[in-house]
Amino acid sequence: MTSQGPAAEAARADVRELIAAKGHVVDNARGAIARLDEAFAAGDLARTPALVQFLADLGPALEQDDGQKLGGKSAEAARFILRAIDRELDRA
């Protein structure tokens, strides 16, 4: 069931703003994940099976070794998954 109310709407808006923000997509993804985790913990948004899968898929795209810069395939994967998260937010 879709979460309702001002807190749910604020969480969705915050996540969408982070997804669309100027800057590196990997940094945007990390911010979006943090905001989603906060919304889930507060009960503002419900974890849908699709969101759980998207977040699990996003994790490897954001992993890096010390000193390694993320870009290229990681950035493209993050961009693709963030678009899927954006579409799923209305069901959360």
Query: Which pLDDT value is given to residue 78?
Result: 87
3-32: pLDDT as tens digits? 899 999 999 999 999 999 998 888 899 999
d(CA 28, CA 30): 5
Higher pLDDT, 77 or 37: 37
**Would the CA dihedral through 41, 44, 9, 50 be positive or negative?**
positive
Q: Give which of 63, 71, 78 is closest to 18, Cα–Cα.
A: 78
Tokens matching residue 16:
């969408």
32-62: pLDDT as tens digits? 999 999 999 999 999 999 999 999 988 877 7
How many domains does the structure of the chain reveal? 1
Q: Is residue 75 part of a domain?
A: yes
Helix count and strand count (H, E) for the chain: 4, 0
Domain range spanning residue 33? 6-91
Q: Is residue 1 part of a domain?
A: no
Instruction: Look up residue 4 and give its DSSP letter.
Output: -
